[in-house]
Amino acid sequence: VKADFSSLSLRQHALVGVSGGRDSVALLHALAENGYRRLIVCHLNHGLRGRASGEDARFVARLARRLGFPCETGRANVRREAREHALSLELAARNARHRFFAQMARKHRCRTVILGHHAEDQAETVLFNLLRGSGLAGLAGMAAESVLTIPPANRRQRPLALRIVRPLLGVRREAIDTYLQSRRLRHREDASNASAEHTRNALRHTLLPMAEKLLERPVVPALLRTAAIVREEASWLASLCPATEPETLCAPELRSQPVAQQRRRLLNWLRAHGVPHAGFEEVERVRSLLDPAHVAKVNLPGGRHARRREKRLFVQ
Amino acid sequence: VKADFSSLSLRQHALVGVSGGRDSVALLHALAENGYRRLIVCHLNHGLRGRASGEDARFVARLARRLGFPCETGRANVRREAREHALSLELAARNARHRFFAQMARKHRCRTVILGHHAEDQAETVLFNLLRGSGLAGLAGMAAESVLTIPPANRRQRPLALRIVRPLLGVRREAIDTYLQSRRLRHREDASNASAEHTRNALRHTLLPMAEKLLERPVVPALLRTAAIVREEASWLASLCPATEPETLCAPELRSQPVAQQRRRLLNWLRAHGVPHAGFEEVERVRSLLDPAHVAKVNLPGGRHARRREKRLFVQ
């Protein structure tokens, strides 16, 4: 596989997320083949596949042992967490994975996590985000290298910044299959949190193939190209906004800026104020305060509100 | 219909594109109802629907007469043009429409063209552009008001800048249907260049409904929201690039800028040099010249090439 390991030094400790499915098995083998020795295999049992879940975990443990890597296995009850916190299965599964990686990162004093997302995953992410009405951050898809900040689990902890590396992001699924076959590597079918990713699987198996048929051309490379363009545009725009916003904002100053800049700054500002679920709707509501003729107070989620007083914006 | 006529003055002359299909019929009626009198109905027969084409044209002429507007009818042979210039039917049809509007704009000394694109058209455009691998310009979809520059048809002409206004861009198809029914307005089924827009119709009738089913939520509003966000981001980015680039570019200066800025500037530069079909691939090829360790010459379409010499980039 033409994986991109350029940002991973051989001497560095790193966690590798291994579900036991084809992508993560290929990733782990490719890392081993390329001389990476200081890896810790991390497998989270999402508790979503009944008995098969336990078999996935044992498969991964054996694989790690054979390749000479230590293996950490965690357990979560994603279905229960989803119910209790009123989250989608997909979101609950992601939270559980983040928590697990944070725990392992602390235990092994290691800040790098290597994941097996590949080109089709990226294409799906971009399409999924578009269909959900995402802005540039979503349309940029995943980055080959990014920083994931995990909030503290308790009062003694500080937020944890993990470096996420995705060496297979430019690799097509077909190439992964060929790699596995050429080395006669076994993997678990449908390992991973398959049932938690119902919508995304449907996108992959029905919507993308249908789009290719309609357009009579390959759609995955097109989606990857869009992601590559948008990622750079988004990072340029982000660099044009202040890293931190003041406690209150000057309405006339903000109003004089491009709409896109207003939106980005207000989103950062609402998030810094801890407004929950701040998104496009909330930003647009606050943006309406910039008009001196408009009402001076708007509601925000979580019982908060934003107010304009003496030409400045406040969150209360 | 909650059409947005805010950018159209009642006293202004304007061309209205009327195919005879539901959208343009609703548009024309809504304009008449809102007191617009100085309109010129423009209908282009694309020659794609056989006998039905002629009936569309007569239908539009009668409609215009009844509402008291002058009517201009043009003819094109889109199929032949597509064949002769090796274009898709869709592109040939668009070129023919542009030529027709340019001709009418000159004849009537009128620079505004009103078109009937609605919310579903916009959603489709955004999705279609994403699946083709478009950058921000494509993901922004159509603008409610934009400028279309039409190249001269001969040496005596100058390029023509038409103001395109789309009052129905925020109106859902369903609302248009309700409007037509409530006023018992007739329209031609499948008028317009239906067969030239095969792919887009397929997107509308199969891909969008399937996406809504998979995501279990309305997809059209999400796509409109993405378009609205992206449009502002794109216009901010465009405002950050010089309106015109010099004949040659300074490689180290360009290299010091964000990748997205490099890409935008190089695209403008290639287009200003008249490089045909300049797009992402061409831009990336020229961008590789910014690396002093890379070859100093790359090929461009149309037998052109770009070269780096003494730290400057040239098009030859």
Average per-residue pLDDT for chain B: 90
Give the H or E element holding residue B16: strand B14-17
Give the H or E element holding residue B283: helix B280-287
Please name the member of B203, B215, B230 whose beta carbon is closest to the beta carbon of A131. Answer: B215
Q: How many CB pairs under 8 A join A and B?
A: 125
Per-residue pLDDT of chain A in tens (316 residues, 90 and over written 9): 689 999 999 988 999 999 999 999 999 999 999 999 999 999 999 888 788 888 999 999 999 999 999 999 999 998 999 899 988 888 888 899 999 999 999 999 999 999 999 999 999 999 988 888 888 888 999 999 999 998 887 888 888 999 999 999 999 999 999 999 999 999 998 765 555 567 777 888 888 888 988 888 889 999 999 998 999 999 899 888 888 899 999 999 999 999 999 999 999 999 889 888 888 889 999 999 999 888 899 999 888 999 999 999 999 8
pLDDT tens readout for residues B104-156:
999 999 999 999 999 999 999 999 988 888 888 889 999 999 999 988 878 88
pLDDT tens readout for residues A92-114:
888 999 999 999 999 999 999 99
pLDDT of residue B99: 93
CA-nearest residue to B204 within chain A is A214
Under DSSP, the state recorded for B206 is I
Under DSSP, the state recorded for A6 is T
Confidence check on the interface: ipTM exceeds 0.85, yes or no: no
Contacts of A259 in chain B (CB under 8 A): 232, 235-236
CB contact under 8 Å between B260 and A236, yes or no, is yes
pTM: 0.85
Q: How do strand A249-250 and strand A312-315 relate by DSSP bridges?
A: antiparallel
Chain A: give the shortest CA distance to residue B229, in Å.
Answer: 6
pLDDT tens readout for residues A202-257:
888 888 888 988 888 889 999 999 998 999 999 899 888 888 899 999 999 999 99
The sheet with strand A71-75 has its strands ordered as A71-75, A39-45, A14-17, A112-114, A160-165, A145-150
CB contact under 8 Å between B130 and A135, yes or no, is no
The rounded distance, in Å, linking the Cα atoms of B146 and B169 is 12
pLDDT tens readout for residues B269-278:
998 898 888 8
Tokens of B46: 């694309």
Contacts of A263 in chain B (CB under 8 A): 229, 232
pLDDT of residue A288: 94
Tokens of B163: 């103001």
